[in-house]
Amino acid sequence: MTFLHPTRRGLLIGAGMASAGAFAGWTHTPAHSSLSGSRDPRFLQVILRGGMDGLAVAEPTFEPRLEQLRQGILLGNLGEAALPLQGGFVLNPKLKNLHEMYLRGEASIFHAVASPYRGRSHFDGQDFLESGAAGGKALETGWLNRALSVLPQKNGPARDGLAVSLTAPLIMRGKAPVITWRGGGLRALRPESFSRLMELYSADAPGLKSAFESGLTLTKLADEPPSGEGSPFVNGMRMAGQFFSKPEGPRIGMIDLDGWDTHAEEAPEGNNLGKALAELDAGLAALKDALGAHWKDTVVAVATEFGRTVRINGTEGTDHGTATVAFLVGGAVQGGRVIADWPGLQDNNLFESRDLMPTMDIRSILKGVLSDHLGIAEGVLSDVVFPDSQTVKPFSSLLV
């Protein structure tokens, strides 16, 4: 085994990577540039809104205080067996597909991760995560849009950044063109009526016309699920996979999922955390299925604005916290690992005596992906994509 003793502060890092690479990973230069050769990389950012409880997703069973701090929401009490991970962690049983990907080496789990934000407001936290700000105040544009803006120009509206959302969330706002997709409906009108509507717009409302038409272009690339059926998130993941699979489709996108703000009744069967996890898990499987052979060229990053308190509150839930888990999933991920500089759960280990202490900056993971997967140079990442992040080194060797 290559991880250090987990109950001390030490680096946990999985098989398949030389132990010497552990800290070298923080400073290593990118191994490959994906823009060379025949690879056609896909990247999807999944944002979990509401603050996901990382300790209830990947639980450190080796922590002696866990029972005392979180009795009532421990994974061992769920009725379903928790899924084994390396280093003494177990995965929430609702994440079966993710676990299967992990076992196949297609998913890595990062623990004790946080953005630079240290407050406890959802919207400020999400603004930091999405804008990629280093501190102070969130920025007006999103890091994913800025990443798009520094990539080589692609042609056609379908090559724009994809936001599986009604309007572009902050992470996708900026100069680079963005196309949004959300649920079917264009078929509600007959094609003849549709074209008459376009005639109406062409004279007086060019903005409406181009918005409608790019939506239609995108819709034609994929088989829309029947409107109103299934989870919008799972449908969105499937659609993203279909769009990403088309030669003329987009390659970089985002999607979000609400429902992580588990202040109460976090644990019982049928609870809100379990529901949200099951939806996330089904979405990942739908995406993989829709991508088919392109899964091997895909990286999905899953992140939330912050974690939750280590102790449960008076209503069997948890309140806003700091560090939490993040995932990288996809055929291009060198997975099967739990990666953490584990801070411990003793009182003096906690952030402000209440939260899991952040020991890893989410930007180091994202910079590693953007560098090795999309070939964005480190200097550009530190100046443009994540401004003022020179000291946050890209994590290397995250990808195959």
Partner 1 sequence: MTSERAITAQRRFGYGVVPDAPARVVRDPLGYAIGQLNDYEYKDRSGLESSSALLTRFKVMQRSRRESDSADAFKAAGALVKGQMQQETGYRFKTAVQSGKPLVERLVSFWSDHFCVSCVKGPQVRLIAGAYEREAIRPHVTGRFRDMLGAVMHHPAMLIYLDNTSSVGPDSPKGRKFNQGLNENLGRELLELHTVGVDAGYSQTDVTEAARIITGWTYNSSPGDETGHFLFDARSHQPGQFTVMGVVFDQNGEAQGDALLDMLAAHPSTARHIAGKLVHYFVGDNAAPALTDAVAQRFSETDGDLKETMIALLQRAESWDAPAAKVLPPFDMLVAFSRLIGVKLKNEEVIAMSRSLGQPLWEPRSPAGFPKGDDDWATSGAMVGRLKLAMNMARQSDLQDDPMGLANAALGRNVTQPLEDAISRAATRPEATAMLLLSPQIQLR
Contacts to partner 1 by CB under 8 A: 121-123, 126-127, 137-138, 163, 165-170, 178-186, 188-190, 192-193, 196-197, 199-201, 203-205, 207-208, 211-212, 214-215, 218-219, 227, 263-265, 314-316
CB 232, min distance to partner 1, A: 9
CB 44, min distance to partner 1, A: 16
CB 114, min distance to partner 1, A: 20
In the numeric block, which tokens belong to residue 333?
């991920």
- CB-wise, 122 or 246, nearer to partner 1? 122
- CB-wise, 89 or 181, nearer to partner 1? 181
- CB-wise, 21 or 191, nearer to partner 1? 191
- CB-wise, 181 or 351, nearer to partner 1? 181
- Segments of the chain assigned E as strands: 11-12, 42-48, 58-60, 83-84, 89-91, 107-114, 161-164, 178-180, 252-257, 298-304, 324-329, 337-341, 360-361
CB 350, min distance to partner 1, A: 18
- CB-wise, 10 or 268, nearer to partner 1? 268
CB 303, min distance to partner 1, A: 17
Integer CA distances (angstroms), 261 to 112, 230, 232, 276, 396, in order: 18, 22, 19, 10, 32
- CB-wise, 32 or 182, nearer to partner 1? 182
How far apart CA 16 and CA 335 sit, in angstroms, is: 9
CB 351, min distance to partner 1, A: 17
CB 340, min distance to partner 1, A: 30
The rounded Cα 273 to chain-centroid distance in angstroms is 17
- CB-wise, 147 or 255, nearer to partner 1? 255
CB 261, min distance to partner 1, A: 9
Which residues, other chains included, contact 72 with Cβ-Cβ below 8 Å and sequence gap of 6+? 267, 312, 316
How far apart CA 298 and CA 78 sit, in angstroms, is: 33
What is the pairing mode between strands 360-361 and 161-164?
unpaired
In the numeric block, which tokens belong to residue 214?
């790019």
How far apart CA 121 and CA 118 sit, in angstroms, is: 9
Q: What is the DSSP letter of 385?
A: I
In the numeric block, which tokens belong to residue 89?
């962690």
- CB-wise, 150 or 198, nearer to partner 1? 198
Radius of gyration of the chain, Cα coordinates, nearest whole angstrom = 21
Integer CA distances (angstroms), 383 to 149, 295, 315, 364, in order: 13, 30, 44, 14
